[in-house]
Amino acid sequence: NAGVTQTPKFQVLKTGQSMTLQCAQDMNHEYMSWYRQDPGMGLRLIHYSVGAGITDQGEVPNGYNVSRSTTEDFPLRLLSAAPSQTSVYFCASSWSPESDTQYFGPGTRLTVL
């Protein structure tokens, strides 16, 4: 199993550009989530999904959209990138929403100029 994969690993955007961060897992996990981590900070939850077709907002959802058309994929879209969105983004998955054992991807380092 590849576990949780994220692409790209690095990305530089200009203010106002849009892009999609990809996340995929091959463990048949129902629960997937996106976090951002700023320097010296913990992880903050952006959006999460408890299954295909179901998504919900986390702590910091503004400026981001998600969709969950399949169990495996959970892309994160930046609609109009802003410098405040410069961060490292982690995708995670787990067997169920009640499971505290989340598996994290390697992260995407995003810089918005």
Q: How far is the CB of 34 from other proteins (least distance, A)?
A: 12
53 torsion bin: left (phi>0), alpha (psi -120 to 50), beta (else): left
DSSP code of 42?
A: -
Nearer to other proteins (CB atom), residue 63 or residue 97: 97
Nearer to other proteins (CB atom), residue 46 or residue 81: 46
Query: Side-chain half-sphere of 42: how many Cα atoms within 13 Å?
Result: 3
Nearer to other proteins (CB atom), residue 34 or residue 85: 34
What CA–CA distance (Å, rounded) separates 13 from 84? 12
Q: How far is the CB of 18 from other proteins (least distance, A)?
A: 24
Q: How far is the CB of 16 from other proteins (least distance, A)?
A: 28
